[in-house]
Amino acid sequence: MHPVTAKLAADMSIDEQIGQLFVVGFHGTTPSPDIVDLIKNHHVGNIILFSRNVQDTAQVRALTYELQRIAHEAGHRYPLLITVDQENGMVQRLGKGSTAFPGNMALGATGSIQLVQDVAYACGQELKALGINMNLAPVVDINNNPANPVIGNRSFSEVPQDVARMGVAALEGYARAGVISCLKHFPGHGDTAVDSHLSLPVIAHSLERLEQVELVPFKAGIAAGADSIMTAHVYFPTLIEEEGIPATLSSTIIRGLLRQRLGYQGVVISDCLEMNAISKTFGFTRGSVMALQAGIDLVLISHVYEHQLEGLNAIREAVAKGVISEEIIQEALERVLELKARRLSWEDTLARQTNTIVNSPEHQELSTQAYERSTTVIKDEAGLLPLRLQPEQRVLLVYPQKDIWTKATDQYHQFEVLAHAIRERHPQVTAHAYKPVENEATPTELLQAANEADLIIAVTVNANIDRAQAQVLKDLQRTGRPLIGIAGYNPYDLLAFPELTTYLVTYEYTAPALTAAARVLFGEISAQGHLPVSLPGLYEHGHHL
């Protein structure tokens, strides 16, 4: 540890030390009384922002500045780490006013390492301009399970080496922009069929298999100088002797596998302890204590003030009783302070910055280029593409609507953007949204509209694991009308209806992804994307028309 940093750590009270080991969120677009209390009186040194904290870019810059000012006046030795899950694609906390960039799988479909780095650099520039100094990205999970409900399109690919190369490119992009990055979710969350926001997933692979697949991107990221690594709330029974202990709470995983075997000495941050995989099994009190005991440096509690107080008080009590040694606190604190000392300063943090880079024309052009390179046509056996419609022909656009798909993403229903984009090119368009409900018949009015249409365009979202959507699409096929399927999230939907003859993938249902799809449909641009994952029994990784 640097001597100056070591002296600062030694001069801090135990409450100050503990506060530096927590990352907390809050509600509101200005500093709430709760977050002010946590910064001032509990010495919390790290903040996470969500969509609920965002109105526009000017407001975000004012918010981050005010949070740092409060910390500075409260005597914090280093600036706050202010972080966010700006993974891009479907996980965009700063959706209002910042540039919308493609998510990982869309970038994976381009096959361009340079494009991954350019997007990370541009994203990092915008974050830094808004006073956000850390991004909880990139995701380097390998999505090799089509039934995965929570990673999916947040992954670059199913090929470990591709994920490793793209993950390192993202690290380099964020580093160029001066933003701290985070590899996640160690030691891997890609081969699960359970969402850890809802319960505890299990991965039963051997260490040998993990070394060959899941750990490959983490090894590459560590070699490239990863700033931080986030753990997964996943249970690995072949590695962890204690039954039902997730990686986040396992010393075997963090101290043994990550630090000793892989040699990583940087900051380790937990995924949020309010996710059900932890909160419904261990709770915030026990979970916070177990996390630090296991080797976590930063404990993340994202949402509820009372839960955050529970965690802080639990650590204070555990230290007082000797359940957690001061050595554990010191080791974690040293890593956090070293990161802050190396990457942050009060002078830079409190300097007023201009916002000209956010949503700049250059970034908009980069975004458009990336999205247009990602759209992938998997098959067109019916020869429907590009569309050659007569003015009087009627197009029916069908898409599902649910309140939430997964708790990881930001839920923006933007299928109307696709309807508008098609209508600009062909006015005779009717859009029909439906709520997929298992074991319920396809709505009569939808089938009637389908029978009256000359062409049906049906968007699906995870239809391979949503039988209600799959049934709707099969019913649309039975009408005998020309049908184009668009996977608006993961490419695996075709597994549920492999007989569909025309099928393309956007990898996300964001506005720019759907706009690019419309341009492909009408032949304005060619589809350049390649499948970054395989569709078992149908198409190999890398397939495209």
Are the C-beta atoms of 292 and 21 separated by less than 8 Å?
yes
Positions marked active-site: 197, 271
Are the C-beta atoms of 140 and 163 separated by less than 8 Å?
yes
* Nearest 10 degrees: Cα torsion 155, 158, 162, 164: 60
Strands 502-505 and 483-487, by their bridges, are parallel
Please state the φ and ψ torsions of residue 405, each to the nearest 5 degrees.
-100, -50
Please tell me the distance from the alpha carbon of residue 450 to that of residue 231, in angstroms, as a whole number.
47
What does the block give as tokens for 294?
């296991």
Please tell me the distance from the alpha carbon of residue 529 to that of residue 248, in angstroms, as a whole number.
35
Helix (H, G, I), strand (E, B), or coil: what is residue 239? coil
Crossing angle of helices 511-521 and 361-374, rounded to 10°: 50
Q: How many CB atoms lie within 10 A of CB 59?
A: 16
Please tell me the distance from the alpha carbon of residue 247 to that of residue 256, in angstroms, as a whole number.
11
Per-residue H/E/C for 272-313: CCCCHHHHCCCHHHHHHHHHHHHCCCEEEECCCHHHHHHHHH
Are the C-beta atoms of 132 and 93 separated by less than 8 Å?
no
**What share of residues in the chain are helix, strand, coil (percent, to 5)?**
45, 15, 45
Residue 369: its H or E element: helix 361-374
Number of helices (H) and strands (E) in the chain: give both, helices first.
20, 16
Q: Which residues pair with 486 in a beta bridge?
A: 459, 504
Are the C-beta atoms of 494 and 503 separated by less than 8 Å?
yes
Please tell me the distance from the alpha carbon of residue 385 to that of residue 393, in angstroms, as a whole number.
16
Are the C-beta atoms of 187 and 210 separated by less than 8 Å?
yes
